[in-house]
Amino acid sequence: MYKPGPQNLITDVEGISVGQAEDQGVRTGTTVLYCPSSVTGGVDVRGGGPGLRDVEVLSPENLVGRADAVVLSGGSVFGLAAGDGVAKVLSKQNVGLKFTESMPAVPIVVGAILFDLVNGGDKDWDMNTPYHDLGIDALVDAQKRNGDAFPLGNYGAGLGARSGNKEGGLGSASLDLGEGLIVGALVAVNSVGSVYMPDGKTFWAQPFSYGDEIGGQKANPDQEPVMQPIPDDAKLRGMTPGTNTTIGVIATSAKLTTAECKRIAMMAHDGFARAIRPVHTLSDGDTIFCISGGTKEIPEGPARSSWLSEIGSAAADTMARAVARGVYEAQK
């Protein structure tokens, strides 16, 4: 029987660690997924207003195809500085590419940001935004945790997030497919769309939930028909494009290529669609990374496509659960 991993977090995938840092006054934060051994990765962008760092290195046609860390941050364009802080620390730790002994290590730090600049926090930061230091602090936290559990909801990149017209947050979940194959999801939910069905309380992702991860929520047999294209608790009317965004990471213990990671990231966006309505709008910058940090070999030849399809389907379901869980934890 399929079930969540021991922590029901993305860190159930061996070899990765997650750390977080927040600035309560600014109402913003940063989440860092650290990969001590460097991992193969891919990325897929579906939103109309993305903010990204160094993602072209994960394109299958390009050279690197790997990452040492993935940074999810609040702060809109200012939040991209979190990746600079992470890169500086990793370089000092001699993590990254080196072509000669005398040159500094060049870490591959990819990332995405969400817009949280109008959430009531103090953004009067003059020339010194907090994000460089938040990136450093989140990396230090990740390295201290060393794969252990991390908090969900109003933490890291989820601190200042909004989902529809309600509180958003940071979510995570995992699924153990057996035989050493695990899929995990991490997401910061700051969506234009609503995560709730028309009754305003049942999560769209409820059919995919496990146990009490969203409070043991059950289906509502009296649910109203879905007729309204834009739910009342979405925040689309009058929005400026690019002022939201749901950003996330899929991790798997399967040993994949960069192109295969890209395909899994593409399929994982179905998890956004299962959990958020509407999604992938012009006012979102929806982005999903996929990293393959494990050593689980999957068959070559014709059978490989079936394995990849199962991993991608599991990624979508797990991402849907993570979205609902992030909002649930933030609103508890």
CATH of domain 10-331: 3.60.70.12
CA-CA distance, 262 to 309, in Å (whole number)? 13
pLDDT of amino acid 234: 83
Whether omega for the bond prior to residue 278 falls within 30 degrees of 0, making it cis, is: yes
pLDDT of amino acid 239: 62
Report the candidate in 275, 271, 269, 272 with the shortest Cα–Cα distance to residue 195: 275
pLDDT of amino acid 111: 98
CA-CA distance, 198 to 83, in Å (whole number)? 38
Strand partners, 40: 66, 292
Residue pLDDT tens, the chain, 332 long: 799 999 999 999 999 999 999 999 999 999 999 999 899 999 999 999 999 999 999 999 999 999 999 999 999 999 999 999 999 999 999 999 999 999 999 999 999 999 999 999 999 998 999 999 999 999 999 999 999 999 999 999 999 999 998 999 999 999 999 999 999 999 999 999 999 999 999 999 999 999 999 999 998 888 888 877 888 788 776 666 557 899 999 999 999 999 999 999 999 999 999 999 999 998 899 999 999 988 899 999 989 999 999 999 999 999 999 999 999 999 98
CA-CA distance, 110 to 141, in Å (whole number)? 18
Q: What is the pLDDT of residues 58-94, one digit of tens each?
A: 999 999 999 999 999 999 999 999 999 999 999 999 9
pLDDT of amino acid 9: 98
CA-CA distance, 256 to 264, in Å (whole number)? 10
User: What residue spans define the domains of the chain?
Assistant: 10-331
pLDDT of amino acid 227: 72
**pTM for this entry:** 0.96
pLDDT of amino acid 133: 98
| φ and ψ of 192, to 5 deg | -60, -45
pLDDT of amino acid 35: 95
